[in-house]
Structure 1
Amino acid sequence: MSKKNQHVVPRGNDWAVQGAGNEKAIRIVSTQAEAIKIAKEIAINQRSEMFIHRSNGQIRERNTYGKDNFPPKG
């Protein structure tokens, strides 16, 4: 499995988990919370990032589960 960042995106009245650059969803579920759980497990396994989008498509949160090239300072 290749390392891809995971996105939680709105899909009609549902939420989809999609690998970066993919049009096809890995999973489509009814709640954003369920989609986040699935995307987080995949991102941890792949040591990649997870992006959570709002219902309007705008990114609201980003989490890194692999090597962070820009770790927080302090």
Structure 2
Amino acid sequence: MSKEEVTKNVWVTTHGDQWAVKIAGEEKPLKIFDRKDDALEFAKERAKKEKTELISQKRDGKINLKNSYGHDDPYKKG
């Protein structure tokens, strides 16, 4: 995979009183949600599609979830 093809992590973070799904390094959110659960569901599907990591923050900015959907386990088949 070349440097240009590197996928970036998917983040769930606050956006005012709402929740935003963002791609690392991007200024503009992909999508805004009223409920964090909805944002997480959307972000999870995006992370799976992109084979990257999902990272979620609490309202105070602390990371409370990290899930990898990439090919980081060389022993896992399929």
* TM-score grouping bracket, smaller chain normalisation: 0.7 to 0.9
> Which has the larger Rg?
2
Matched length? 70
Letter in structure 1 aligned against 2:59: S
Provide runs of 4+ in structure 1 moved above 4 Å: none
In structure 1, the gaps of 5 or more residues are: none
Identity %: 34
In structure 2, the gaps of 5 or more residues are: none
Task: Please give the alpha-carbon distance, in whole angstroms, between the structure 1 residues aligned to 2:25 and 2:72.
Answer: 20
Among residues 2, 7, 11, which one is paired with 1:7 in the alignment? 11
Compute the displacement of 1:67 (Å): 1.6
The aligned residue for residue 23 of structure 1 is 27
The aligned residue for residue 33 of structure 1 is 37
Compute the displacement of 1:2 (Å): 6.2
Compute the displacement of 1:26 (Å): 0.1
Task: Please give the alpha-carbon distance, in whole angstroms, between the structure 1 residues aligned to 2:6 and 2:26.
Answer: 12
Among residues 50, 57, 71, which one is paired with 1:53 in the alignment? 57
